Amino acid sequence: MLVDTEKFTVDGREVESTYVGKARKCCCGCAGKHSTPEEDPEQARRVLGMLAGASAEQMDRDNDIAACEIGKLQFIAYFKTAPQHGEAHS
């Protein structure tokens, strides 16, 4: 899965997990759903699609996440990061 637009580019293989939930609520899972692309590939496609279509004003992105709020929902993609101390390299 590859999303590539002028606004947002990410290879779906870089995504560790996604979140869809109520806007302006916490992201612990009480107001939405966390999943991995393996657990719910449709949610991963939906989140990446929403991020790709988001305007610059809607988008919040850094090295670890990309997020946007559209209507009453927030969409977040959490990216894979370098292994932490003690974790094996793949």
Q: Note the pLDDT tens digit of each residue in 18-76.
A: 999 999 999 989 999 999 999 999 999 999 999 988 888 888 888 889 999 999 999 99
Q: Residue 28's domain spans which residues?
A: 2-79
pTM > 0.85: no
SS3 90: coil
- 85 occurs within a structural domain: no
- How many domains, in total, are found in the chain? 1
Q: Is residue 86 part of a domain?
A: no
Overall residue count recorded for the chain in this entry: 90
Q: Which long-range contacts (CB under 8 A, 24 or more apart) does 30-34 make?
A: 32/73, 32/74
Beta strands in the chain (DSSP E): 2-4, 9-11, 15-22, 32-35, 59-61, 65-70, 73-79
Q: How far is CA 85 from the centre of its chain?
A: 24
In a domain, 88, yes or no: no
The CATH code of the domain that includes 43 is 3.40.1840
Give a yes or no: residue 58 inside a domain: yes
Would residue 87 count as lying in a domain?
no
Establish if 34 belongs to a structural domain.
Answer: yes
Residue 15 lies in a domain: yes
